[in-house]
Structure 1
Amino acid sequence: MFERDGYLDTRLTDITKEAQCAAGSFYTYFANKEEVLAAVLLEAQEDMMHPGMSRVEGTDDPHAVLEASNRAYLEAYKRNAKLMGLLEQVAQVEPEFREFRRRRADAFIRRNARGIADLQARGVADREVDPMMASRALSGMVSVMAYNAFVLGERQEEESAPVELDELVSTVTRLWANALRFPEHR
């Protein structure tokens, strides 16, 4: 419903009709449409934070792990693209969703900062880079590229096909590896 109609145009009557439930039943579980949207966004966030990808089988190669992590995130973002666009829309007009968006971004940034610190401790990543600052920059880059590709439908060049997932994964992985100065990228 939210994906189809957008936040501003979705009404409680639309939600209850789509869910085939009475308004009274709706209010047993949710106080308003904001709570419904929050529940939907939390589910999407869980999919994106934990897309089902564990360690890459049979390798400790940091580049392979980074590539698999970027692929899992971008695939999850693509699956949830309409909701991610909706979150951006709602965050502009509803303070509680602006805070939700900030907390969501912070969760990714902190997780990635821990990963960068681990790579530094193993001698794989540049130890002179602040893990939190690097994570903010690199996570932001990937998030904006995903938004542009999957929400806005950005193309490589005007009149060309949309950006391919493999190309996006390859590009953001190379930029992460270069920024962190992985040994093969020094």
Structure 2
Amino acid sequence: MNPEAGVEDRAGRAAPKSKRGLRTRAALIAAAREVFERDGFLDARISDIPKAAGMASGTFYTYFDSKEEIFTEVVRQIREEMLHPHVRESIGDDDPRELIAAANREYLQSYRRNARLMAVLEQVSKVDEKFRTLRRERGAALGERNAAMIRDLQERGLADARLDPLITSWALSSMVGRMAYTVFVEGDEVPFERLVETMNQLWYNALRLGD
């Protein structure tokens, strides 16, 4: 029996409860990220993950059952990083244009940092239903977050009340996400500040926000 066993994680495996176990698991996830960024999902080998973490090869199976399981954890970490649920608190400003600008900037910066993994997720989601679902969940969570912001602006009389908050959020979020993929994954050359400014202005125009 694994002495590090504690509460179950999202995959059903007993998660580590000691600080050492948590550190080891986190180090494996970080190493897996490096391997997936370098080799992609299909060509990545499980044996390379503990090697990249400086651990014995058998250590991997103490914490994970498969390459799919650890890749899922990598994707979940990216999702949490990219959602930025506390933009309002981080900038301390209720001005709608400032909120939208901060949210778009943080999302695009995060996408740029994670571009290689976003490309891997796009690749895998085309052939694996589980990761296609994870990709959809990430998009849905982002859409719900932005819909809540739009709804709040409408209730305050700051945004066009005729717009459906969720549909509007999906449309505008998809636009930003697709542009991020085009620029940071496919490599189309667009200056970052120009990209941010243009995405912001399209949001302002769509919601009919004043200056």
TM-score (norm 1): 0.89
Structure 2 residue aligned with 1:159: none
Corresponding position: 1:167 with 2:194: yes
Q: Distance in 1 between matches of 2:81 and 2:107?
A: 9
Q: Distance in 1 between matches of 2:199 and 2:107?
A: 11
Structure 1 residue aligned with 2:183: 149
Corresponding position: 1:99 with 2:133: yes
Q: Which amino acid aligns with 1:178?
A: N
Match of 1:13 among 35, 47, 54: 47
Structure 2 residue aligned with 1:157: none
What are the superposed Cα offsets for residues 133-184 of structure 1, whole Å, 9 maximum, x if unpaired? 0011000000000111111111xxxxxxx21111111001100110111134
Mapped contact 2:64–2:70 kept (Cα < 8 A): yes
Match of 2:106 among 72, 82, 85: 72
> What root-mean-square deviation, in Å, do the aligned CA atoms of Structure 1 and Structure 2 show?
1.6
List structure 1 runs of 4+ shifted beyond 6 angstroms. none
Q: Aligned pairs, how many?
A: 177
Higher relative contact order (CA 8 A, sep 6+): 1
Q: Any gaps of 5 or more consecutive residues in structure 1? A: 155-161
CA positional deviation for 1:54: 4.2
Q: What SS does the corresponding residue of 2:41 show, helix, strand or coil?
A: coil
Q: Distance in 1 between matches of 2:43 and 2:89?
A: 42
Aligned counterparts, 1:116-131, within 5 A: 116-131=150-165
Mapped contact 1:56–1:64 kept (Cα < 8 A): no
Structure 1 residue aligned with 2:19: none
Mapped contact 1:81–1:151 kept (Cα < 8 A): yes
Structure 2 residue aligned with 1:4: 38
Q: Which amino acid aligns with 1:94?
A: D
Corresponding position: 1:35 with 2:69: yes
Q: Distance in 1 between matches of 2:148 and 2:209?
A: 16
CA positional deviation for 1:24: 2.4
Please identify, of 37-46 and 3-12, the stretch whose mean Cα deviation from structure 2 is larger.
37-46
Mapped contact 2:104–2:199 kept (Cα < 8 A): yes
What are the superposed Cα offsets for residues 14-66 of structure 1, whole Å, 9 maximum, x if unpaired? 22322233332211100000111111111111111128744464643211221
Q: Which amino acid aligns with 1:141?
A: M
Q: Which amino acid aligns with 1:173?
A: N
